[in-house]
Amino acid sequence: MASMSMSVRIRLSIMMFLQFMLFAVWSVPLAAYLNTLGLSGFERSLALSSMAIGCLASPIIGMIADRYFASQKVLAVLNLLGAGFLFAAAYMTSPVSVTVLLVLQQLCYMPTWGLTSAIAMSHSPSDKFPQIRVFGTVGWVASGLFSLAALSIWGAKIDGTYIPLLCGAGTSLVAALLALALPDTPPPAKGKKASIVDALGLRSFALLKDPSFAVFMAISLLVMIPFSLYWWYGSAFLKDKGFEFITITMNWGQAVEMFFILLVPVALAKLGIKWTMVIGLVALVARYAFFLAGGACDQSWMYFGAILVHGAIFGFFFVGGQVYVDKKAPPELRAQAQGLIFLMTFGLGLLVGTFINGALIEAYTTTVGVGAEATKVYEWGPIWTITTISCVVLLAAFLVFFRPKVAEQAAAAQGGA
């Protein structure tokens, strides 16, 4: 495709903006809100696992949609259903009800990551796609404006309340209406036989015969355990420390992410795939070292250091890893291999990490008082210590056991240049 009209470009950019904003506005402060509902550690972990569960199901839903429905119509229906589930969840206080509704919403939402990319790439030149996708990150950062607006207009603080769920529902409804105005994107694989094996990327398991690729996949999965501690429980920590505007505070990490992602191609070209990903793992160690040192030294500014390295972790390790997978897999398995890494990280890894971290936090939480006067006291020091040590172990394992071939290093460098 040589070009696209300005009208199409604007609509695709707004699509990305809304699609990521509608998730960030409620998911970032979710852990803080769940604490106010009085959920147990297991119940909270189950609710926070909704995204991971949605990831596990989304390839199947996406495969069915690709064969039978126009992508923009599927997007509209999913966002409309998601809006309804979020609206209902906002008015539920039962842990079971909240969990079920969030899982249903994520089963609708997670397929939209693939759908929005497919729609954008179908109507834009390949070199323009990053310029459209970046509005997703902008939308994520801008989600913090909801809390500022609530404070300035109504004098209310919405972090830790059900209001972000309503904000997400409203944004999801707007995104559903916008989807109906998107360019027509007919099903690209209409008439082709649907295969669960291909949808889940199971054929790409043959790549695990390569020891380095197996190490990469294993460490990518394990990295999601400490990564998910910040992803889901960071808001609970900041709220416990008295931070206001939690969504805005955590969104500084996404703001810096835009800068780091632009540096990934440079790092791949200069350092190669292994050392690019090592930088991401070093940043992961730095995140929890900042949290640990901030508490030990009573220096809250260090918490901002932990937030700001988010872009380096995501860009250098995860995006760098996607480049490695793309160059490692043969052409006929590339799409499946990307699906496999997605399932292993934001599917299985995030699911396992959420429960492990929930149990870790619960182990270092004590309840003071009884009845309505009861409050939870968190011992964050041991939590950050254990997590920092685990990150160091993962970094060391990656340095020792991940040994990509010279040809793979060169291919990844060319892909990033």
Q: What are phi and psi of 410, to 5 degrees?
A: -65, -40
CA–CA separation, 54 and 279 (whole Å): 29
123 burial (CB, 10 Å; 0-12 / 13-18 / 19+) is: buried
Q: Does an H or E element contain 190, and which?
A: none
Rounded mean pLDDT of 109-136? Answer: 78
188 or 77, higher pLDDT: 77
Among the listed residues 219, 224, 210, the one whose alpha carbon sits nearest the alpha carbon of residue 398: 219
pTM value is: 0.76
Q: pLDDT of 36-87, one tens digit each?
A: 787 777 777 788 788 888 887 777 766 666 677 888 998 999 999 999 999 9
- Placement of tokens 């926070």 in the chain: 48
CB 160 within 8 A of CB 33: yes
385 burial (CB, 10 Å; 0-12 / 13-18 / 19+) is: middle
Alpha helices, DSSP H, located in 160-245:
163-179, 196-199, 211-240
Does 380 score more than 70 pLDDT? yes
User: What's the alpha-carbon Rg for the chain, to the nearest Å?
Assistant: 21
- Placement of tokens 């969504």 in the chain: 247
Task: Fold for 201-417, please state it.
Answer: Growth Hormone; Chain: A; (1.20.1250)
Count the alpha carbons within 13 Å of 361 in the hemisphere toward its beta carbon. Answer: 29
Does 416 score more than 70 pLDDT? no
Query: At the fourth CATH level, which superfamily is domain 1-191?
Result: MFS general substrate transporter like domains (1.20.1250.20)
* Beta pairing partners, 377: 366
- CATH 1.20.1250.20 domain position(s) in the chain: 1-191, 201-417
